[in-house]
A and B are shown apart, each in its own frame.
Chain A
Amino acid sequence: DQQVKQNSPSLSVQEGRISILNCDYTNSMFDYFLWYKKYPAEGPTFLISISSIKDKNEDGRFTVFLNKSAKHLSLHIVPSQPGDSAVYFCAEIGSQGNLIFGKGTKLSVKP
């Protein structure tokens, strides 16, 4: 059974500091993971992804790390900005090509 777990429902950081959002998974069929960002009253938007051929993928201030042995991935945002305040969802691809999402982590970046 594929499951994606985000055990921290919320995270608060100071502007300029690093934000680290964590995600654990049980069984992955495709070893490919995505992060989505969601603002209130808007649909989620794709942020960054990583496949198992890499252990790190970087895009500007956002970096995702994958630890396959621990079945763990994390999203690092540095430096954090107030505009990064949103709910972040970790997701993996399900057996039917659908996405399986975690419950999300609400990030608050304080000025």
Chain B
Amino acid sequence: DVKVTQSSRYLVKRTGEKVFLECVQDMDHENMFWYRQDPGLGLRLIYFSYDVKMKEKGDIPEGYSVSREKKERFSLILESASTNQTSMYLCASSDTLTPYNEQFFGPGTRLTVL
């Protein structure tokens, strides 16, 4: 089974802190994604990556950066956390060989910024 793990289920940080959210997948997938989920807004794409050291902006990249140094790991970085970044963060991966891009999600990290 595909497994996508995220480093923390719950995280509380203070405004201005630098925050790292880690995601690891164990199925050798090419593609990895970071979304945030907010009530009434659904899942919105922050960044994604097709390969090691490659990254593409999604719909809401402002205030975030990402790092993909290894194929299995995709990190989301909040350089200076703000209260409007309080959200559920979801990581996903997919196999380029999959014709229709089914994505497998991690359990999510509930981030609260105080």
The residues of A with any CB-CB pair to B shorter than 8 Å are: 6, 9, 30, 32, 34, 41-46, 49, 51, 89, 93, 96-104
Counting CB contacts under 8 A, is B75 at the interface? no
Nearest residue, chain A, Cβ from B99: A32
Counting CB contacts under 8 A, is B90 at the interface? yes
Asked whether A98 lies within 8 Å of B107 as measured between CB atoms, the reply is no
Return 10 A-B CB contacts under 8 Å, by A number.
A9-B40, A30-B100, A34-B102, A43-B91, A43-B108, A44-B90, A98-B45, A99-B33, A99-B103, A101-B35
The residues of B with any CB-CB pair to A shorter than 8 Å are: 4, 9, 31, 33, 35, 40-45, 48, 50, 56, 58, 90-92, 100-108, 110
Asked whether B42 lies within 8 Å of A42 as measured between CB atoms, the reply is no
Minimum CB–CB distance from B112 to chain A (whole Å) comes to: 14
Nearest residue, chain A, Cβ from B40: A103
Distance between Cα atoms of A74 and B86 in the complex (Å): 32
Among B44, B106, B108, B110, chain A packs the most CB atoms within 10 A around the CB of B108
Nearest residue, chain A, Cβ from B96: A97
Minimum CB–CB distance from B64 to chain A (whole Å) comes to: 15
Asked whether A45 lies within 8 Å of B105 as measured between CB atoms, the reply is yes
Q: Which 9 residue pairs of A and B lie closest in terms of their CB atoms, listed nearest first?
A: A43-B105, A103-B42, A101-B43, A101-B42, A44-B105, A104-B42, A43-B106, A46-B102, A43-B107
Residues on A with beta carbons closer than 8 Å to the beta carbon of B41: 103
Distance between Cα atoms of A104 and B43 in the complex (Å): 8
Asked whether A102 lies within 8 Å of B101 as measured between CB atoms, the reply is no
Q: Would A97 and B105 be within 8 Å (CB), given that A44-B90, A104-B42 are in contact?
A: no
Distance between Cα atoms of A74 and B30 in the complex (Å): 31
